[in-house]
Amino acid sequence: MSEAPNTQEPKEPSGARLALTLAFAGLISGVALVFTYELTKPVIARNREAALRAAVGRVVPGAKSMRKLVWRDGALQPASAADKDAAVLIAFDARGAAVGFAIVTEGPGFQDTIRLIYGFDASTNTITGMEVLESRETPGLGDKIYKDPDFVKQFKKLSVQPSVKLVKKGKGSGTANEVDAITGATISSKAVIKIINTADKTWRSRLGTVDRNKVRAP
Protein backbone atom coordinates (compact mmCIF):
# COMPACT_ATOMS: atom_id res chain seq x y z
CA MET A 1 0.00 0.00 0.00
CA SER A 2 2.66 2.51 1.01
CA GLU A 3 4.62 1.86 -2.16
CA ALA A 4 1.82 2.90 -4.47
CA PRO A 5 2.30 6.45 -5.70
CA ASN A 6 -0.45 9.02 -5.59
CA THR A 7 -1.39 8.66 -9.24
CA GLN A 8 -4.67 6.78 -8.78
CA GLU A 9 -5.88 8.90 -5.92
CA PRO A 10 -8.44 11.02 -7.79
CA LYS A 11 -10.27 8.00 -9.24
CA GLU A 12 -10.53 5.78 -6.17
CA PRO A 13 -11.31 7.01 -2.69
CA SER A 14 -8.37 6.35 -0.40
CA GLY A 15 -8.27 3.45 2.02
CA ALA A 16 -8.44 5.94 4.86
CA ARG A 17 -11.70 7.35 3.54
CA LEU A 18 -13.22 3.85 3.26
CA ALA A 19 -12.14 2.97 6.78
CA LEU A 20 -13.42 6.29 8.04
CA THR A 21 -16.84 5.73 6.44
CA LEU A 22 -17.15 2.30 8.01
CA ALA A 23 -15.94 3.54 11.38
CA PHE A 24 -18.45 6.37 11.23
CA ALA A 25 -21.29 4.02 10.29
CA GLY A 26 -20.27 1.70 13.11
CA LEU A 27 -20.13 4.57 15.57
CA ILE A 28 -23.57 5.92 14.70
CA SER A 29 -25.03 2.41 14.73
CA GLY A 30 -23.42 1.70 18.09
CA VAL A 31 -24.85 4.87 19.62
CA ALA A 32 -28.32 4.07 18.27
CA LEU A 33 -28.12 0.52 19.60
CA VAL A 34 -26.90 1.43 23.06
CA PHE A 35 -29.60 4.07 23.29
CA THR A 36 -32.40 1.62 22.35
CA TYR A 37 -30.94 -1.09 24.52
CA GLU A 38 -30.77 1.10 27.61
CA LEU A 39 -34.25 2.39 26.92
CA THR A 40 -35.89 -1.01 26.49
CA LYS A 41 -33.82 -3.10 28.91
CA PRO A 42 -35.79 -2.29 32.08
CA VAL A 43 -39.12 -2.85 30.29
CA ILE A 44 -37.98 -6.19 28.86
CA ALA A 45 -36.65 -7.33 32.23
CA ARG A 46 -39.90 -6.29 33.90
CA ASN A 47 -41.96 -8.17 31.29
CA ARG A 48 -39.91 -11.31 31.75
CA GLU A 49 -40.10 -11.10 35.53
CA ALA A 50 -43.86 -10.55 35.42
CA ALA A 51 -44.36 -13.52 33.09
CA LEU A 52 -42.32 -15.80 35.36
CA ARG A 53 -44.09 -14.51 38.47
CA ALA A 54 -47.47 -15.15 36.88
CA ALA A 55 -46.44 -18.69 35.90
CA VAL A 56 -45.19 -19.46 39.42
CA GLY A 57 -48.41 -18.04 40.83
CA ARG A 58 -50.40 -20.47 38.69
CA VAL A 59 -48.42 -23.61 39.58
CA VAL A 60 -47.85 -22.92 43.28
CA PRO A 61 -51.14 -22.03 45.02
CA GLY A 62 -50.86 -19.03 47.32
CA ALA A 63 -47.52 -17.83 45.94
CA LYS A 64 -47.12 -14.07 46.21
CA SER A 65 -43.36 -13.61 45.91
CA MET A 66 -40.42 -15.76 44.89
CA ARG A 67 -36.68 -16.09 44.89
CA LYS A 68 -34.34 -17.84 42.46
CA LEU A 69 -32.14 -20.65 43.73
CA VAL A 70 -29.05 -22.32 42.32
CA TRP A 71 -27.41 -25.63 43.19
CA ARG A 72 -23.91 -24.86 44.46
CA ASP A 73 -21.54 -26.64 46.88
CA GLY A 74 -24.06 -29.33 47.67
CA ALA A 75 -26.85 -26.99 48.70
CA LEU A 76 -29.56 -24.81 47.16
CA GLN A 77 -28.52 -21.21 47.56
CA PRO A 78 -29.98 -17.86 46.54
CA ALA A 79 -28.98 -17.04 42.98
CA SER A 80 -26.91 -13.94 42.35
CA ALA A 81 -27.50 -11.63 39.42
CA ALA A 82 -24.71 -13.38 37.53
CA ASP A 83 -26.57 -16.71 37.47
CA LYS A 84 -28.59 -16.51 34.31
CA ASP A 85 -31.69 -18.64 34.51
CA ALA A 86 -32.06 -20.50 37.73
CA ALA A 87 -33.93 -23.77 37.33
CA VAL A 88 -35.58 -23.69 40.76
CA LEU A 89 -37.61 -20.99 42.43
CA ILE A 90 -38.87 -20.93 45.98
CA ALA A 91 -42.27 -19.31 46.44
CA PHE A 92 -43.58 -17.46 49.51
CA ASP A 93 -47.07 -16.41 50.50
CA ALA A 94 -48.08 -12.89 51.52
CA ARG A 95 -46.70 -13.30 55.07
CA GLY A 96 -43.32 -14.54 53.85
CA ALA A 97 -43.75 -18.23 54.67
CA ALA A 98 -42.43 -20.70 52.08
CA VAL A 99 -45.35 -22.36 50.28
CA GLY A 100 -43.52 -24.49 47.72
CA PHE A 101 -41.05 -24.73 44.88
CA ALA A 102 -41.39 -24.09 41.18
CA ILE A 103 -39.08 -25.99 38.83
CA VAL A 104 -38.35 -25.02 35.23
CA THR A 105 -37.24 -27.91 33.05
CA GLU A 106 -37.22 -29.13 29.46
CA GLY A 107 -36.87 -32.22 27.30
CA PRO A 108 -37.64 -33.62 23.86
CA GLY A 109 -41.30 -33.61 22.85
CA PHE A 110 -43.06 -34.93 19.74
CA GLN A 111 -41.85 -32.15 17.48
CA ASP A 112 -39.33 -30.07 19.38
CA THR A 113 -38.11 -29.36 22.88
CA ILE A 114 -40.88 -28.81 25.43
CA ARG A 115 -40.09 -26.32 28.21
CA LEU A 116 -42.36 -26.40 31.22
CA ILE A 117 -42.66 -25.22 34.81
CA TYR A 118 -44.20 -27.24 37.63
CA GLY A 119 -44.95 -26.47 41.23
CA PHE A 120 -43.83 -28.87 43.95
CA ASP A 121 -44.78 -29.22 47.60
CA ALA A 122 -41.76 -30.85 49.28
CA SER A 123 -43.59 -31.66 52.53
CA THR A 124 -46.16 -33.91 50.84
CA ASN A 125 -44.14 -34.82 47.72
CA THR A 126 -46.90 -33.68 45.40
CA ILE A 127 -46.94 -31.64 42.24
CA THR A 128 -49.18 -28.61 42.68
CA GLY A 129 -49.54 -27.51 39.06
CA MET A 130 -47.92 -27.61 35.62
CA GLU A 131 -47.67 -25.12 32.79
CA VAL A 132 -46.03 -25.50 29.39
CA LEU A 133 -43.82 -22.47 28.68
CA GLU A 134 -42.61 -23.35 25.20
CA SER A 135 -43.39 -26.09 22.68
CA ARG A 136 -44.00 -26.70 19.00
CA GLU A 137 -46.34 -29.67 19.37
CA THR A 138 -48.83 -30.36 16.57
CA PRO A 139 -51.77 -27.94 16.65
CA GLY A 140 -55.01 -29.72 17.42
CA LEU A 141 -53.30 -32.84 18.78
CA GLY A 142 -50.07 -32.46 20.76
CA ASP A 143 -50.85 -28.92 21.82
CA LYS A 144 -53.56 -30.37 24.07
CA ILE A 145 -50.81 -30.79 26.69
CA TYR A 146 -51.53 -27.16 27.51
CA LYS A 147 -54.85 -26.51 25.78
CA ASP A 148 -56.83 -29.41 27.23
CA PRO A 149 -58.05 -28.33 30.70
CA ASP A 150 -58.79 -31.96 31.66
CA PHE A 151 -55.14 -32.91 31.12
CA VAL A 152 -53.64 -29.86 32.83
CA LYS A 153 -56.05 -30.21 35.78
CA GLN A 154 -54.55 -33.59 36.69
CA PHE A 155 -51.30 -31.93 37.74
CA LYS A 156 -53.05 -29.89 40.43
CA LYS A 157 -52.54 -32.55 43.09
CA LEU A 158 -50.29 -35.27 41.77
CA SER A 159 -48.13 -37.54 43.87
CA VAL A 160 -44.62 -38.29 42.64
CA GLN A 161 -44.25 -41.45 44.72
CA PRO A 162 -42.62 -43.55 43.42
CA SER A 163 -42.93 -41.61 40.15
CA VAL A 164 -45.63 -40.12 37.96
CA LYS A 165 -47.31 -42.74 35.80
CA LEU A 166 -49.16 -42.30 32.52
CA VAL A 167 -52.23 -44.47 32.00
CA LYS A 168 -54.80 -44.80 29.24
CA LYS A 169 -57.96 -42.89 29.93
CA GLY A 170 -60.21 -44.92 32.25
CA LYS A 171 -57.66 -47.74 32.56
CA GLY A 172 -55.91 -46.48 35.72
CA SER A 173 -56.15 -48.04 39.17
CA GLY A 174 -56.98 -44.72 40.79
CA THR A 175 -53.76 -44.12 42.72
CA ALA A 176 -52.59 -40.55 43.33
CA ASN A 177 -49.61 -40.72 40.95
CA GLU A 178 -51.58 -41.45 37.77
CA VAL A 179 -52.21 -39.15 34.81
CA ASP A 180 -54.68 -39.98 32.03
CA ALA A 181 -53.04 -39.73 28.60
CA ILE A 182 -54.65 -37.47 26.01
CA THR A 183 -56.41 -39.49 23.34
CA GLY A 184 -54.64 -38.88 20.04
CA ALA A 185 -51.63 -37.28 21.71
CA THR A 186 -50.16 -40.16 23.67
CA ILE A 187 -46.60 -39.33 22.68
CA SER A 188 -46.85 -35.70 23.74
CA SER A 189 -48.44 -36.75 27.06
CA LYS A 190 -45.68 -39.30 27.55
CA ALA A 191 -43.05 -36.65 26.86
CA VAL A 192 -44.47 -34.33 29.53
CA ILE A 193 -44.49 -37.11 32.14
CA LYS A 194 -40.95 -38.13 31.22
CA ILE A 195 -39.69 -34.56 31.50
CA ILE A 196 -41.28 -34.17 34.93
CA ASN A 197 -39.97 -37.52 36.21
CA THR A 198 -36.43 -36.74 35.03
CA ALA A 199 -36.47 -33.34 36.72
CA ASP A 200 -38.00 -34.84 39.86
CA LYS A 201 -35.20 -37.39 40.11
CA THR A 202 -32.64 -34.58 40.05
CA TRP A 203 -34.32 -32.04 42.28
CA ARG A 204 -36.46 -33.81 44.89
CA SER A 205 -33.58 -34.75 47.18
CA ARG A 206 -31.95 -31.36 46.69
CA LEU A 207 -34.99 -29.36 47.78
CA GLY A 208 -34.40 -30.33 51.42
CA THR A 209 -31.02 -28.62 51.47
CA VAL A 210 -32.48 -25.12 51.46
CA ASP A 211 -31.22 -23.17 54.47
CA ARG A 212 -34.41 -21.50 55.71
CA ASN A 213 -32.41 -18.87 57.58
CA LYS A 214 -30.54 -17.76 54.51
CA VAL A 215 -33.42 -17.92 52.02
CA ARG A 216 -36.07 -15.41 52.99
CA ALA A 217 -38.93 -13.81 51.10
CA PRO A 218 -37.74 -10.71 49.21
Which range of residues in 11-19, 54-62, 157-165, 208-216 is near other proteins by CB under 8 A? 11-19
Reference 101, options 77, 116, 85, 122; nearest CA is 122
If one asks whether residue 191 binds other proteins (CB under 8 A), the answer comes out as yes
Cα(65)–Cα(95) distance, integer angstroms: 10
- For the CB of residue 186, give the shortest distance to other proteins in the complex, in Å: 9
Helix (H) or strand (E) holding 68: strand 65-72
Cis amide linkage into residue 162, ω under 30° from 0: yes
If one asks whether residue 110 binds other proteins (CB under 8 A), the answer comes out as yes
Residue 71: Cβ-neighbour burial (10 angstroms; 0-12, 13-18, 19+): middle
- For the CB of residue 21, give the shortest distance to other proteins in the complex, in Å: 6
Which range of residues in 69-77, 92-100, 105-113, 170-178 is near other proteins by CB under 8 A? 105-113
Pick between residue 17 and residue 168 the one whose CB is nearest to other proteins: 17
Reference 153, options 188, 182, 175; nearest CA is 182
> What residues between 140 and 179 interact with other proteins by CB under 8 A?
140-141
Query: Using the rule CB under 8 A, which residue among 43, 95, 123, 162 binds other proteins?
Result: 43
If one asks whether residue 62 binds other proteins (CB under 8 A), the answer comes out as no
Cα(184)–Cα(182) distance, integer angstroms: 6
If one asks whether residue 18 binds other proteins (CB under 8 A), the answer comes out as yes
Query: Using the rule CB under 8 A, which residue among 9, 49, 51, 96 binds other proteins?
Result: 51
If one asks whether residue 56 binds other proteins (CB under 8 A), the answer comes out as no
Cα(135)–Cα(192) distance, integer angstroms: 11
Which spans in 14-158 are helix H? 15-59, 144-147, 149-153
If one asks whether residue 94 binds other proteins (CB under 8 A), the answer comes out as no
Pick between residue 34 and residue 176 the one whose CB is nearest to other proteins: 34
If one asks whether residue 49 binds other proteins (CB under 8 A), the answer comes out as no
Pick between residue 187 and residue 217 the one whose CB is nearest to other proteins: 187
Which spans in 60-185 are helix H? 144-147, 149-153
Is 88:199 a contact under the CB 8 Å cutoff? no
Q: How far apart are the first and last CA of the chain?
A: 63
Residues that bind other proteins (CB under 8 A): 12-13, 17-18, 21-22, 25-26, 28-30, 32-34, 36-37, 39-40, 43-44, 47-48, 51, 108-113, 136, 138-141, 187-188, 190-191, 193-194
